[in-house]
Amino acid sequence: MTSEQDPAPGVSKWTVALTIMLPTFIEVMDTSVVNVSLPHIQGSLNAGVDESTWVLTSYLVSNAIVIPITGWLSGIFGRKRYLIFSLLIFTVSSILCGAAPSLPVLIVARIVQGLGGGGLQPLSQAILLETFPRKEHGIAMAIFGMGVVLAPIIGPVIGGWITDNWTWRWVFYINLPIGILAVFLAMLFVHDPPYIKRAGVRIDTWGLFFLSVGLGSLQIVLDKGEREDWFASQFIVVLSIAAVAALALFVYVEMRTSNPVVDLGVFRDKSFAAGCTIMFLGFFCLFGSIVLLPLYLQQLMGYTALWAGLVLGPGGMSSFFVMPAAGILLARGFKPRHLLILGLAITAYSELRMSEFNLEADFFSVSVPRFLQGLGLGLFFVPLSAATYANISREKTGNASGIFNLLRNLGGSFGVAFSTTVLSQRAQFHQTFLSENISPYNPAFQEAFRQTQNALQMSGAPAQTTETLAYLYREVLRQASMLSFNDTFYLLSIATAILIPVTLLLRRGRRGAPPPETPMH
């Protein structure tokens, strides 16, 4: 008997890869495509800013709850049946989102959409890992990574174009033809592996309850914390306590039950534990910088949402091309750790370049660091994913994939929360510092005032004392904001560089023995 079993007999592994990457792409893209449409949704449904952000938060909460229990659900319903069921829920709820007559209806539909879409990423990764031979896991993760990385970059561009040219409702309606195609392909080409046996399983009620409360509360805290001024808000304090308590109880219950909803035993494998840690911290830094770049371009440089998305494009393209190359290098014997260290070094350098942005930067100056960041990401994601699963048996791949994808998403959420908070605090710090120099007794200020007043007069704009002071104050705010972006990018660069020695925790796959899932002759 061979060491690898094709879960879809008679079907090409490339056909399976294309089949399962389609739902992954649309699910990941849907997490970002709505962002640029939020102002239009707010105006169309007569909602406030805080109310409309629940359109994003509700999806993230339900999505986060489902991701880690995907392996458990696959064992109950069967992987193929659960995949098709998830696709149907995601597609139908997308139509309900587009047709929503009010904000509450839209939020409920987004919750259902998150429940349907949550399982698509872990399912896709698990199917890819068992479809490709173990020595080609790097190629499999390159395929998965191309979809996971490109989707959130393309999403805002597509969302902006659709919203500008049609309406925000079509951001959801476009999922219908893609969803139907994905269901059709899954029915034809995806099959359950023989070790997945649908059987009655005692439901881990308490584990499921604590997981839902813990992850739901945590995701709301991360998404709403900066707007609510973090622990100055009683709402955030209560949810934070609930998240910590529920997740602690969840771990306690799962370690004691015989049928856990999430098998935490996979963390006994040191490579998997180290890989999850590095993935969490890596996406913490990555998403922290990705969310800052469009803000810098739109708030300070005057870019439209479409042009801000185009700046992200070079990074997406460099990742798209370097990921298959990384997969091929791994298949030919390159050590994952070496590629991973190179990827982290390039990423840290790109973020260091971003910390040097200024208010006169042109398109080329901001797109080159983003291009380098894309190269680093490709060399980070592929080898890390392959090394993380090196010792995980097929029977445990679904469960491990759910945990791995959850930590990747949580890393991104923590990174975004960290970056936006540091950005806000540093802006206040620099604004206070710069404002101290605005004094009629400061010679530098007197000279700046005269130059500004002359410039306003030459342009035909009002140049009275009030208008001149207002203009100078706006410039102080811009400078303070620019310095805060520089500070945050610099911190993310340092954090990424610190990750390089952490890669030493990764261990190579077992040698001298067949893969864990191979029956002994």
Give residue 448's Cα distance to chain centre.
44
Q: Up-side HSE of residue 288: CA atoms within 13 Å toward CB?
A: 35
b/e code 376-394 from CB counts within 10 Å (16+ = b): bbbbbbbbbbbbbbbbbeb
442's CB contacts (< 8 A; 6+ apart) are none
Q: How many CA atoms lie within 13 A of 117 on its CB side?
A: 30
Looking at residue 19, its pLDDT comes to: 83
CA gap 418, 284 in Å, rounded: 8
* Rounded Cα gap, residues 254 and 38, in angstroms: 38
DSSP string of 5-53, one letter each residue = --SSTTS-HHHHHHHHHHHHHHHHHHHHHTGGGHHHHHHHTT--HHHHT
The span from the first CA to the last CA of the chain, in angstroms, equals 8
CATH number among 3.40.50.300, 1.20.1250.20, 1.10.3720.10, 3.10.20.30, domain 263-420+489-516: 1.20.1250.20
* Other C-beta atoms lying within 10 Å of the C-beta of residue 447: 10
Identify the helix (H) or strand (E) that includes residue 56.
Answer: helix 54-66
CB 297 within 8 Å of CB 311: yes
Ordered by start, the domain boundaries in the chain are 1-202, 204-260, 263-420+489-516, 430-480
Which residues, in sequence order, are CB contacts of 505 under 8 Å at separation 6+? Answer: 270, 274, 277, 278
- Phi and psi torsions of 269, nearest 5°: -75, 115
What local confidence, expressed as pLDDT, does residue 123 receive?
85
Which of 254, 219, 243 minimizes the C-alpha distance to 409? 219
Specify the pLDDT at position 520. Answer: 31
Specify the length of the chain in residues.
Answer: 521
Give the right CATH number for 1-202 from 1.20.140.10, 1.10.540.10, 3.40.50.620, 1.20.1250.20: 1.20.1250.20
195, burial (CB in 10 Å: exposed 0-12, middle 13-18, buried 19+)? middle
The confidence score (pLDDT) of residue 438 equals 67
Question: Per-10-residue mean pLDDT for the chain, 521 residues long?
Answer: 46 79 80 72 74 78 85 81 90 91 89 88 82 79 76 72 80 88 86 65 79 88 83 89 92 84 86 89 85 82 74 78 85 85 93 90 88 88 84 80 86 86 87 72 64 64 63 77 92 92 70 38 30
417/118 Cα distance (integer angstroms)? 21
Angle value at C-alpha 476, between 457 and 293, nearest 5 degrees: 115
How many whole angstroms separate alpha carbon 403 and alpha carbon 264?
A: 9
Q: How far apart are CA 312 and CA 511, in angstroms?
A: 41
Give the pLDDT score at 70: 84
Tokens of 351: 């973020």
Cα separation, 378 vs 36, whole angstroms: 26
Q: SS3 letters for 278-332?
A: HHHHHHHHHHHHHHHHHHHHHHHCCCCHHHHHHHHHHHHHHHHHHHHHHHHHHHC
pLDDT at position 347, please? 92
> Fold match between 1-202 and 263-420+489-516?
yes
71: nearest Cα among 413, 381, 405: 405
Q: What is the CA radius of gyration of the chain?
A: 25
How far is it, in rounded angstroms, from Cα 173 to Cα 443?
60
Backbone angles phi and psi of 37, in degrees to 5: -90, -5
Q: Six-digit token pair at 149?
A: 């990385």
Please tell me the predicted confidence (pLDDT) of residue 471: 65
What's the token pair of residue 64? 């986060």
Residue 4, exposed/middle/buried by CB under 10 A (0-12, 13-18, 19+)? middle
